[in-house]
Structures are given as structure tokens and as C-alpha cells.
Chains A and B, each alone.
Chain A
Amino acid sequence: MDPKYIRNFAIIAHIDHGKSTLSDRLLEMTGSLTAREMQAQVLDAMDLERERGITIKAHSVRMMYTARDGQTYQLNLIDTPGHVDFSYEVSRSLASCEGALLVVDASQGVEAQTLANAYLAINNGLEIIPVINKIDLPSADIPRTKEMIEQAVGLPADHAVPVSAKTGLGVDEILESIVHLLPSPKGDSNAPLQALIFDSWFDAYRGVIVLARIINGRMYKGQKIKLMSNGKVFDIENLGVLTPKPVEIESLSAGEVGFFVATIKNVADTKIGDTVTDASHPASEMLPGFEDIKSMVFAGLYTVDSHEHTLLRDALEKLRLNDSSFFFEPESSAALGFGFRCGFLGLLHMEIIQERLEREFNLDLITTAPGVRYKITMTDGSVLEVDNPSRWPEVTSIEKIEEPIITAMIMTNEEYVGGILKLVEEKRGKQKNFEYVTPTRVMLTYELPLNEIVLDFYDRLKSVSRGYASLDYHLTGTWVSPMVKMDILVSGEPVDALSIIVHRDVAYERGKALVHKMKELIPRQMFEVAIQAAIGSKIVARETVSAIRKNVIAKCYGGDISRKRKLLEKQKEGKKRMKRIGKVDIPQEAFLAVLKIGED
């Protein structure tokens, strides 16, 4: 198709501001799906995505739209992940588009994440159409929302489209705006192939499926292609577009978006942001913006039943086929046996992987406290990268420790600023900016140690702001900080899987809070259990789980043995879900106690 009639766009929105509903409506109104085929929120296909109401994987859909000018346009909607953990993926999806719809809830206004992604889109040179959604709600305030878009995002809002994605009101105006306001793709179909990979996954029947935007050149069946980041060469077996049903076609040209299946066996070869080129007529350079994905958050994963260790390995391998953004390597723990050290993009990513392992592979897992990777310069001048507390070197051999730092943007209403400032201070934050974007909305910019963010920051932020604060962050550097390793002793024995790395100045408080939370999480046992926090040989906090005094079925009603058995079986099942360390049964959640400090 002539690129003149192609429009590639993304939708930027905060969670619950209506992105999925709007996508569904666009599909419906362009006739891409009949009402009968319409299943609510087609794009968020993964169960987990539906439940959490967020998009984890990117997708794309081609829609054909006959505009009021009588011309038929090809509209490619590129759906983007909606969480700060996946900001690199978002940036690559945006780089595949010429424009974006910025969806803002008419009663909620602009949130930090929307803002961050909007900036990302502006920086990628995208044309933006503001869409004011949920105008059917009584609390909708269109003029105020327009004002916010202008003040907070810095975008003119005069051409903003007011809609209700729920009822469909105004959605046809969006389609017209896409056609008339968004630029068509530039690019040369006769130049050497340059296609941008913005997603890939493993399909059990078809192998690795890659989503790409053709920037220059052509991609066709049987073509020999090369992935420019690693130089690997493959043959294209077939290619097509998602409508959203997959439809095979012969070729894709500059400006178009589609999928291809090549002789790729390993999804890890298809890196997001990489450039696909023609192996025989390669482009001279890669498309800009490619980065190797770096894990930000690290944790150990173990099975409660140590016999299931190989099942966990198989499960991780299978998951990695679908998600090349996390890594794992074997590690072992004195307390938990054989397991895996895993790296994730963020805390949500970690939760998703853990939940998928438990649900899809039916595993009972223990996750150790998440941490970050430190750069440690030793007294002998050598440099170590340590993400596992059990590999922390001797204090005396450490010269300096560098910890990763993020810049966070927090957007909130002014009444919650006090609570949030207290929280970021506690989390060792340094203020960079404090700005009223409207008379009642505040945007805070802080530098914070990533180590503090991966613990309970997001939950705490939500609680101090009653949900009226949004957060976006990106990695911006390192600080030299006096970090120490804190060990947890259960009944006098250090449990390696419970060790964490903390800043020296907060170690005492953190230790106290941690053992207190563990006391709540560890059920009473047949004997007293001491829980201690220690730095080196110094005990900084102690709590005691007192012993159970009685657990006995005394009464026997006329020989009712089945009731006794049921009770014992129930108790036995409960114990099976705990990890026995020494003589103490520790429930799974106690290993993540550090995330639960501050919860009641």
C-alpha cells in the first residue's frame, strides 16, 4: 500500500483510563471484528493481563478504515505495555509509530506514567492527539482536563477529542483525527531492509513470532534476513499481519507493521529494538535506540519441595522462550537447597514471572527478598558486581560500594504531598524538582536508590496517597553508599536466603521492622523461636515467637475418628506449604517479609 494511506499509532494511557476499551471500540468500528467475535478487551490476551488490567506484552493490529473522504486507510495500532518496568519496550513500540493517542480520564486527569510516556512519545518525534475519555461520567470535567493536558504535558489541547470509549460516543472522530492529523510513514521501499523489532514471543505451533515495523525496504517470504545486533542469519518462512486474527501475506513494505516467522529457534535471539535487514543487501547501519535489556531486580527462586527443583528449571526454560527479558542461573542456598538467581526488569515483572510459574506450572515457590546489583570496588582494586547477598564480600576487603540510582517522577494531589515527602525522605531520596503543574497537582522529581524502590515503595506510595499518586522512573546513575549485609538468624542459625543488603544508616530500623514482621508471619511452633537481625556478629534486633501451649483434640464424640483425621490432614497440608529450616517451619511469605514491612 502507498505509505500515504498508512497510519501507525500507539495509545498512551494510565491504568484504568480506558486504553483497552478504546482499542476494542476501534476494532469494532473499523469492522476488524464483528460484534460476535468481540470479546471484551481483545488485546489484553494473557489471563494475568486481564486480571491486573494492564498490558504486559505489546501487540499490533491492522485495521482498514474508509474515511469520510472516501479513501481507505491502513491503520496499525501498536499496543504498548503499561507499566514502568517495561519503559524500554514502550520506547521501542513508540519508535514504530508516527503518532499516538494520549488518553486521559476526564475525571482523573493526567498521571505520572501517562506523562512519562507522553514525553517519551514527544522525544520520539510522534504527533500526539489528546483523547479525553469517560465523558459519560457525571464527574467528567472536559475544560479542566484540557487545561491539565496543556499545563502538565505542554500540549495544545484545542484539537483534543472528547469520547466515551464505553458507549462509543466520539470514537469516529478519533478515527478521522488519526487519518488527518497523524503523519504518514516516511521511508523508502527501495532502500535496503531495515525493520524494527518491537516484540517477539514463542508459539508452540509456529515457533518464534516477531512483530516488526518496516522502516525501509521490503520483507518477503523466503528472504534471507540478518539480525544486526548479533549477526545471525535466518530464512523468512512466512509473514503476515494481525487483524487481530493472523492473516498471511506475501510481503511487507516500508511503513507497514506485521509479524514474521523465520527459522529462529530461540526467542532470546530476537531482541526488542534490534534491526532486521536483508542478509544479501544489508543496511549500512542499525536503527537508533537499541539497548541490551538489563535486569534491574534480582531474587532467588526456589521450590518449597526441594524435589521439584528440576521442574522449576524446566518451567523457567519454557517461560524464557516467551520472555527473553528475564535471566536465570543456578544458585544454591544452605537453607533452601538448589534454586535459581533470577533477574527481572522490575518488581511487577518479578511478580508476573512468579505467578506464571505457580499457575501455569503448578509450582509452590519461595522467592527471596528482591535486591539490586551493586558495583563493589575491592581494596586490591578489583571490581565485583554483586546481586546476591550470599556473595557479599568481607567488609574489610571492600573499598567502595556503588548502588544504582533512579530518577522518579511522582504526580499527586497537593494534600498528599506531606506524606509522600516523608516517604521519599525515609527512602533516602534527594529532591530534584518540586512543581505545581496545576494549582492542585504537584509533580515531584526525586533521585532515589533503586534498592529502596524494589522493596515496598510502590505499595507505600499508594497507601500514603490513597491511590492518588502515580510513579514513573528510570535509571540515571549510581551513588557511593555505605551498604551492609544484614543476616537473619532463626533459632540462632543464620538463614542465608533471608539476608538482605541495606544502607548502614537505616540498618537498625530496618532490622527491627523486619524481625517484627517475621514474628507475625512465622506461626507458633512446638518450641520458642528466636528471630534475630545481625550485622556481622552484632545483633541489632530480636523478636521471639512463643511456643504453642496446646494443640490437642480432647473430646471424642462417640468414636468420631474421621474428624480427628481431617484435622490432622489439614494441619499436615499446611506444614507442607512451609519450608522447614532446622526445626522451624517457615511459610513462603516470611521470605518476602521485607516487602511487607509497614503493612498491618
Chain B
Amino acid sequence: MPPVGLYLSVPFCRAKCSYCNFASDAFGPARMDAYVDRLTEEIAQAPAKASAIGATLPREVDSVYFGGGTPSLLSAARFQRIFEALRTVFSLQSEMEFTLECAPGQLADETLAELLRHGLNRVSLGVQSFVDQESRAVGRFHTRDVCLAEIARLRSAGVQEINVDLIAGLPHQTHESWRISLEQTVAANVPHVSVYMLEVDEESRLGRELIAGGVRYHAHHVPDDGLVAEMYLEACEFLGNDGIPQYEISNFARPGHASRHNLKYWKRLPYLGLGLDAHSMLGDWRFQNTDDLNAYLEGKASPDPVSVSPHEASEEELFLGLRLNEGIALPEEGPIAHVLRQLVRDGLMQVQGDRVALTPKGRLLSNDVFTELLGATA
């Protein structure tokens, strides 16, 4: 049985960024203790909960991922309590990947020291842009200099696995400014980069403003879809040329530095999500916690676990596996193979030996590609 990856959600932020569509918020620090109480309780109950639905929860853990929100805001003492709880239930492998998401300039020395004691070896920095005007416009607190200083500090503390998050499509972004962020990222010599494109939906303030056609949150300075698509393609090429090839739609890494934890999502390996709005997959089961903080703190019921049918599992293998640059094994003759061939003819997919993968254009239109494929499986 493969080891499990643990995702721990920490939904606290100093302020909510305008583009954020997650369940995080600037909940007061007063609620952090209550949250950690509930989180440790959930950890303790995890094996019982898994067996109640008939899912297998491995004891061995080979990745721990603190995501947010801004998990770096939790104090050392709170992390101490969380790890006590984790070690009671799980066996944390000594060579595990241990990632902390961190807002540049928002990680206290004491917290860092505590996390290093527990094996922290990877930090994901929410840089989003190295151009100060752009990060300011979406409500981030850092500057380029703070980001670079944070990277240097982490390195000197012994954390080599550093990821830089970038967003294409921020207000005020241009071709030139995007280039600056990419160049700065390469110059910082980090081994891992994530590139996202701004998501426009009703879940974020900026998204709602864009849909409404307004001007708040600098919405009228958001680059158009065509430009964002070009920025994305440029990032793929630029990072690839500098030895940071793409391995997933949004992820780039120097060889040997891909994120073990994130790969579990695409390869359908078991992971357990703990905390607000956390998602889990154990064997044939998927389940998630409520995204309402009060409900979570009161231990109220979350949505029912969903069992993934063999048909749905094969669909997931398609649309998750194809997110990876390595693609999927060429399928046997049938409706899927038929659609794939058409997609290859249309330049959206390419065959590489006995595998088939998205082309750069196919990645940009991956929802359409996946929809075509799902249509063929129905």
C-alpha cells in the first residue's frame, strides 16, 4: 500500500487578496487556537472516520503539505501541537517531503525554527509577481526585495526546495512586466515554479468585478484572455529554456525537484485533507470538509463521502493524467482513441512514443480537450 500524503489547511490570512477564491480569510488570530483544537481533534479521529466509510488510511506518511491561507502565520507553539497530534496517529517518514506555503515576509524566525525541527524541507512562496505595482494592486504586502530576501533567508536556514508561485493575468501586467517576473524567478535560481492564470469567477472580489465590468480592484487593468494565453506560453518556453521544464499544466521544476505531494493529485495516489475545505482521496473514496469556518469549528457534518465508480476513475485517470507533460499511455482502440486521434490532428495533443500528451495549445484549451474525451466515454 502506498504511503499517504497529508494536506493541512490553514485558512488564516492577514488580508484576503482580491483574486482569492479560496475559503481563507482574515479571520482574527483569536480563532487560531480554536482552529488548532479542532484540527488536532480531526487528526485524532481520522483513522476512525476512514474505517467508518470502509476506506483504508495508511499509517505511513511520505508528504506533509501545509496550504492556505497563509500557514506561516501559525505560531511555533501551534505547530508543535499539530505535530504532536500527527505523530500519535501517523508514522512520518524521515525522508518525507514537508512543504509550507508562505507569504513572503510573513514567517517568524521562531516558527521557522520549530518547523525545521519537524523536518521542513520545502517552502512554496506566494510571490505572484516580482513587479511591486502588480502585487500591491491585488493586496499583497510584499515587494520584490522582500521576496528575494525571503528566498536567501530560507536557503541559509537549509531549505533548498523553494517554489515560487506566479500569476499571469494580474491587473497592470504587460508582456514586458511579465518578462521581468520570469527573469527574476530564473535569476533567483529556485528549483520549482508554479504558474497560474488568473481565474475569473464569482468566488473572488476581482472575478466578480470583472464579470460585472466594473473598475474596482483595478479590474479594468486586467490583461485580456489572448494576452494571458501568450504570457502562459511564454512562461512555458522561457522556464524550459532555463532548465526548469514544465511537468504539469501549472508546474515547472528542475529535474528531480517536482513536488511529490502535488503529483499525488494527478496520479491518484492517496491523500488525506485535514482542516477547513480540505479534500481527500483514499482508494475509491473522495471526501471533503465543509468550507464554512464556524461549521468546521463546531464539528458539524461535511458533505457525504463519494465513492468513485470504476467508470469515473477511468475518466479521472484521463483528465488528471493528461495534466502531466508525460501524458498517459496510448489507449486501446475505441471511442477514446478515436477522439484522441482527432485531437492530435487538430494540434491539441501529441504522441510521444507509446504515450500521448497535450500540446502547449492543448494545455491552454485543456477544459475543451477533456470535455471532448469525457463525451467519448459517456
Contacts and interface: CB of A to CB of B under 8 A. Distances in A.
A555 to B, nearest CB: 5
B369 to A, nearest CB: 8
B371 interface: yes
Contacts of A557: 22, 67, 277, 279
B370 A526 contact: no
B375 A558 contact: no
B375 A575 contact: yes
A338 B9 CA distance: 55
Interface residues of B, number: 47
Contact of A551 (B265, B278, B368): B368
B232 A559 contact: no
Contacts of B320: 561
A558 B278 contact: yes
A375 interface: no
Contact of B229 (A526, A549, A565, A575): A549
B121 interface: no
Contacts of A564: 319
Contacts of B225: 548-550
A555 B323 CA distance: 12
A568 B364 CA distance: 15
Given A558-B67, A561-B320, A562-B286, A552 B375 contact: no
A527 B346 contact: yes
Nearest to A547: B365
Nearest to B316: A561
B374 interface: yes
A77 B88 CA distance: 85
A190 interface: no
B306 interface: yes
Given A554-B199, A554-B249, A561 B367 contact: no
Contacts of A556: 250, 262, 265
B232 A558 contact: no
B288 A560 contact: yes
A551 to B, nearest CB: 4
B245 interface: no
Q: Interface range on chain A: under 10, 10 to 19, 20 to 34, or 35 or more?
A: 20 to 34
A552 B366 contact: yes
A551 B279 contact: no
Nearest to B265: A559
Contact of A561 (B279, B366, B370): B279
B260 to A, nearest CB: 13
A71 interface: no
A551 B280 contact: no
A571 interface: yes
A526 B359 CA distance: 13
B197 interface: yes
A571 B371 contact: yes
A538 interface: no
B38 interface: no
Given A526-B348, A562-B288, A548 B365 contact: yes
B271 interface: yes
Interface string B231-244: 01000000000000
A572 interface: yes
A561 B232 contact: no
A124 B205 CA distance: 67
A549 B232 CA distance: 11
A247 interface: no
Interface in A388-429: none
A553 interface: yes
A564 B288 CA distance: 14
A554 B265 contact: no
A558 B279 contact: yes
Contacts of B306: 562
A552 B67 CA distance: 22
B281 interface: yes
Report which residue of B197, B225, B367 has the largest number of chain A beta carbons within 10 angstroms of its beta carbon: B367
Contact of A550 (B316, B348, B365): B365
A567 interface: yes
A558 B312 CA distance: 20
A568 B370 contact: yes
Contacts of B367: 551-553, 567-568, 571
Contacts of A569: 374
Contact of B196 (A527, A554, A562, A567): A554
A563 to B, nearest CB: 9
A559 B271 contact: yes
Interface string B354-378: 0000000001111110110011001
Interface string B195-221: 111010000000000000000000000
Interface string B268-302: 00010100011111000010100000000000000
B264 A559 contact: yes
A555 B250 contact: yes
A576 B375 CA distance: 9
Given A551-B365, A552-B249, A561-B316, A572 B281 contact: no
Interface in B157-200: 195-197, 199
Interface in A573-593: 575-576, 583
B232 A550 contact: yes
B310 interface: no
B197 A554 contact: yes
Contacts of B9: 558
A558 B273 contact: yes
Nearest to A549: B229
Contact of B363 (A527, A552, A565, A571): A552
Contact of B250 (A548, A554, A559): A554
25 contacts: A526-B346, A550-B228, A550-B229, A551-B365, A552-B364, A552-B365, A553-B199, A553-B366, A554-B195, A554-B249, A556-B262, A556-B265, A557-B22, A557-B67, A558-B273, A558-B279, A559-B271, A559-B280, A561-B279, A561-B286, A561-B320, A565-B312, A568-B367, A572-B371, A575-B375
Given A526-B346, A548-B365, A572-B375, 10 more contacts: A548-B225, A552-B363, A552-B367, A554-B197, A554-B249, A556-B262, A561-B265, A562-B286, A568-B371, A575-B371
Interface of A: 526-527, 548-562, 564-565, 567-569, 571-572, 575-576, 583
List the 8 closest A-B pairs by CB distance, nearest first. A549-B229, A551-B367, A554-B196, A559-B265, A550-B229, A550-B364, A554-B250, A549-B225
